[in-house]
Amino acid sequence: MLEDKNKQRTSLAELGEFGLINHLTEHFKIYNESTSKGVGDDCAVISEKKDEIVVSTDLLIEGVHFDLSYVPLKHLGYKAIMVNLSDVYAMNATAKQVTVSIAVSNRFPLEALEELYAGIQLACDTYKVDLIGGDTTSSTTGLLISVTAIGSAAKESLAYRDGAKPTDLIVLTGDVGAAYLGLQVLEREKEVFKVNPQSQPDLEAYSYLIERQLKPEARKDIHRLLKDLEVQPTSMIDVSDGLSSELMHICTQSNTGCNLYEDKLPLDPQVVSTCEEFNIDSTMVALSGGEDYELLFTISINDFDKIKGNPNLTVIGHITDKNEGMNLVTRANQQIKLKAQGWNSFEEES
């Protein structure tokens, strides 16, 4: 993808580290009053008067988290920011600032990094967060991206993973499973391309799935929605590693059990049709797929009327006592023990 002979290639060595940082960040805007000093000094300066500060960091590594044979660099930059903003929104907080550090090998010219930072800038502009710093260094193994996101919330608004109580309702934003299937489609087309480099894939039938994989959107809107509905989540997490894994995190840290209902899982029609095409179970995809970056949270049963019928939210189960275990209730009304089969970055390849 990077070897277009007609494109100009500017060696990173021509700019040097500080010249590269200045070049890539000179057009970023400041959106938040709390950003007293952004890029350009030894440290950024953040000033929050009374809110709690939340911080999250993620590392994305070429060959582990992304494959540049089918991931455009602009999309990668956008997604790198989304992954981190989602963690901030999962605290029921507002994202304000990000830092971006990259390690890059000499196979990447300046023009490739400009594409990466165009995606980062689009994300910052769209979500009104400030790029306030980072670092660049060389790599012998390809591209590594480290993003830190910083946000804030009033103390009483923060939602942790350990606050769920028996009888609380389990609520999910959006739908799940699409990002995983988008990855399967892209991997399939990569194998076809290896066999026949002249083939032109028709991906129209998978447009939603591929967009959910390559250009996910973090749920910035949910914090405001819940505030307007006067609903305070008792616990919250984002769906990055798979729905079942995330729900089990909430139950484990809250010392509870749960019943999750198979017939309540929200699935896009493209997910259902593509599962049939690939001959895989849509429930397994919904529970274990990951990378949806939706929000999973619990609320008091007394708040049900406030969220009932809201198109952004689906009640998919309820919290139980710990001794009842963590269960999936099937369409046939059978209880099956939930398993965490989502993404594990330290798991050995099978």
Give, as one character, the DSSP assignment of residue 322: G
* pLDDT tens sequence across 195-242: 888 877 789 999 999 999 999 999 999 999 999 999 999 999 999 999
Average pLDDT over residues 326-343: 88
Boundary-marking domain end, from 154, 187, 215:
154
Residue 146 lies in a domain: yes
Rounded mean pLDDT of 261-269? 98
pLDDT in tens, 48-85: 778 888 888 899 999 999 999 999 999 999 999 999 99
Q: According to the model, what pLDDT value does residue 45 have?
A: 74
- Give the CATH number, domain containing residue 57: 3.30.1330.10
- Higher-scoring residue by pLDDT: 1, 29: 29
* Model confidence at 105: pLDDT above 80: yes
160 has a pLDDT exceeding 50: yes
Report the 3 state secondary structure along 48-71.
CCCCEEEEEEEEEEECCCECCCCC
Q: Which sign does the torsion angle of CA 212, 217, 219, 224 carry?
A: negative
Q: How many Å separate Cα 340 from the centre of its chain?
A: 18
Q: What is the CATH number of the domain that holds 182?
A: 3.90.650.10
Instruction: Please determine, for residue 338, whether its predicted confidence score (pLDDT) is greater than 50.
Output: yes
Q: Are 234 and 313 in the same domain?
A: yes
pLDDT of residue 43: 66
* Dihedral angle computed from the Cα positions of residues 122, 125, 126 and 127, in that order, rounded to the nearest 10 degrees: 120
pLDDT for 7 beyond 70: no
Percent of the chain at pLDDT above 70?
A: 92
* Token pair for 62: 């070429």
> Is there a single domain that holds both residue 96 and residue 233?
no
Q: Is residue 346 part of a domain?
A: no
Q: pLDDT tens digit string along 162-191?
A: 999 999 999 999 999 999 999 999 999 999
Residue at a domain's end among 101, 126, 154? 154
197: in domain: yes
Which is higher by pLDDT, 2 or 276? 276
> Which residue, among 23, 94, 99, 24, has the nearest Cα to 57 in the 3D structure?
99
Are 221 and 323 found together in one domain?
A: yes
Predicted local confidence at residue 40, as pLDDT: 66
Are residue 179 and residue 144 in the same domain, yes or no? no
**127 & 200 share domain:** no
Per-residue pLDDT band for 1 (boundaries 50, 70, 90) equals: very low
Q: What is the mean pLDDT of the chain?
A: 90
DSSP H helical segments within 146-200, as ranges?
178-195
The reply to whether 299 falls in a domain is yes
- Examine the domain organization and report whether 184 and 307 are in the same domain: yes
Supply the pLDDT for residue 222: 98
Asked if 250 and 169 touch (Cβ cutoff 8 Å), the reply is no
Same domain, 234 and 119: no
Distance CA 233, CA 159 (A): 6
6 assigned to some structural domain: no
- 121 and 236 fall within a common domain: no
Last residue of a domain, one of 154, 188, 205: 154
Angle between helices 110-127 and 16-25 (to 10 degrees): 40
Shared domain check, 198 and 136: no
Residue 40 lies in domain: 12-154
Residue-wise pLDDT tens digits, 109-122: 999 999 999 999 99
Do 266 and 316 have their domain in common?
yes
Is residue 290 domain-shared with residue 177, that is, in the same domain? yes
Looking at the structure, tell me whether residues 243 and 318 fall in a common domain.
yes
- Tens of pLDDT along 291-321? 999 999 999 999 999 999 999 999 999 999 9
79, part of any domain: yes
223 occurs within a structural domain: yes
**What is the Cα–Cα distance from 262 to 168, expressed in whole angstroms?**
18
- On whether the CB atoms of residues 232 and 281 are closer than 8 A, the answer is no
Please report whether residue 162 resides in a domain: no
Using the structure block, give the residue that is written with the tokens 């991997």: 187
Residue 46 confidence (pLDDT) above 70? yes
Number of separate domains in the chain: 2
